[in-house]
Amino acid sequence: MTLFELQRTMSESVMRRLMPDSGMRQKTADGKSMRAHAAAFIKPGRELSSFERLEIYNRQYWLRVLSVFADDFPGLRAALGQTRFDAMAVAYLEDNPSSSYTLRNLGSELVRWLPKNPKWAGKKYNLALDIARLEWSYTESFDLGERPPLTRLDLSRCTADSCLALQPHVRLLELSHPVDDFIIAVHRGHRESGVASNAARGNPKTTAQLMSAPKAVSTYLAVHRFEYSVYYKRLEREAYLALFALSTGKTLGDALTEAFEGSGIPESEQPQRVQDWFALWAELGWFCRYADSSRKQ
């Protein structure tokens, strides 16, 4: 084998799904003997055969990726239960094996994978998708960059034609369940967690005992980072629509028009509501200049 062929053969063998008893499969993907396959590129040791040596790596791969995946989605594990979550995790990781130098990206396809494989979430599919979206947004918000924020003075100079960029770490979510409180309870007790404010720390093994799964209610959230912690901020529908429109490149005037179209907020109260929103968002540093300096501010 060339080095590339050896690396590919090793990775394919290590990433093959384990047997129910956590042992390595006896056959290769094309039906050949795994023992003969292992002997073709791994030397036996004094006490372990080639198959047994390869089996150690096969087991350790799955133990590691399943552990990381569970750590990244504790709310989803709490909502689905350990057995269903584990089965879903194995199915997901078979379809989306680790392909990055960092395990941070392990769950990056879950939000796209789950709608194509809803059976793994069963009757809790809609809830599971909301939780997966929020938990992945947490990972993104924790890692993504931050540019110099616009100040209140900067914002006071904006006109209806101004365009405002959101910080890369601000993620906007329209959900069908208020899963932020559920995930807060899950994280409560996780000392290593950086979730804060409308996010907290928790033990996924006891969450089901602490609170029931939330009922369906339209919920609008911003997930953002502030002073090295990730926060979940609930938004009014109009505030969410305004921020979402701005995030797509709409001008400030167009964004506010879209936000209040069909709104139940009286027109007389809208200017004060906008002022309050932008004062808070400026304090949190959510706005920044576009990387493209030609965009208007």
Q: What is the mean pLDDT of the chain?
A: 89
How many structural domains compose the chain? Answer: 1
Is residue 53 included in any domain, yes or no? yes
Is residue 239 included in any domain, yes or no? no
The yes-or-no verdict on residue 209 having pLDDT over 50 is no
- Region 275-284: what's the mean pLDDT? 94
Structure tokens at 165: 């960029």
Domain that holds residue 46: 1-68
* pLDDT more than 90, % of the chain: 79
- Region 75-80: what's the mean pLDDT? 94
DSSP code of 228? T
Residue 33 near residue 27 (C-beta atoms within 8 A): yes
pLDDT-based confidence at 211, cuts 50/70/90? low
Is residue 101 included in any domain, yes or no? no
Q: Could you tell me which residue, 197 or 226, shows the higher pLDDT?
A: 226
- pLDDT at 212 (0 to 100): 73
What pLDDT digit, counting tens, does each position of 111-121 carry?
Answer: 999 999 999 99
Is residue 2 included in any domain, yes or no? yes
What pLDDT digit, counting tens, does each position of 100-150 carry?
Answer: 889 999 999 999 999 999 999 999 999 999 999 999 999 999 999 999 999
The yes-or-no verdict on residue 290 having pLDDT over 50 is yes
Is residue 57 included in any domain, yes or no? yes
Is residue 127 included in any domain, yes or no? no
The yes-or-no verdict on residue 40 having pLDDT over 90 is yes
Cα–Cα distance measured from residue 117 to residue 125, given in angstroms and rounded to the nearest whole number = 10
Q: Could you tell me which residue, 155 or 196, shows the higher pLDDT?
A: 155
Cα–Cα distance measured from residue 202 to residue 195, given in angstroms and rounded to the nearest whole number = 10
Phi-psi domain of 265 (left: phi exceeds 0; alpha: psi -120 through 50; beta: other): beta
The yes-or-no verdict on residue 192 having pLDDT over 80 is no
Residue 43: half-sphere exposure toward Cβ, Cα within 13 Å: 2
- pLDDT at 296 (0 to 100): 53
Cα–Cα distance measured from residue 128 to residue 213, given in angstroms and rounded to the nearest whole number = 10
Is residue 211 included in any domain, yes or no? no
Expressed in angstroms, the distance from the first to the final Cα of the chain is 58
Q: Could you tell me which residue, 271 or 201, shows the higher pLDDT?
A: 271
Is residue 126 included in any domain, yes or no? no
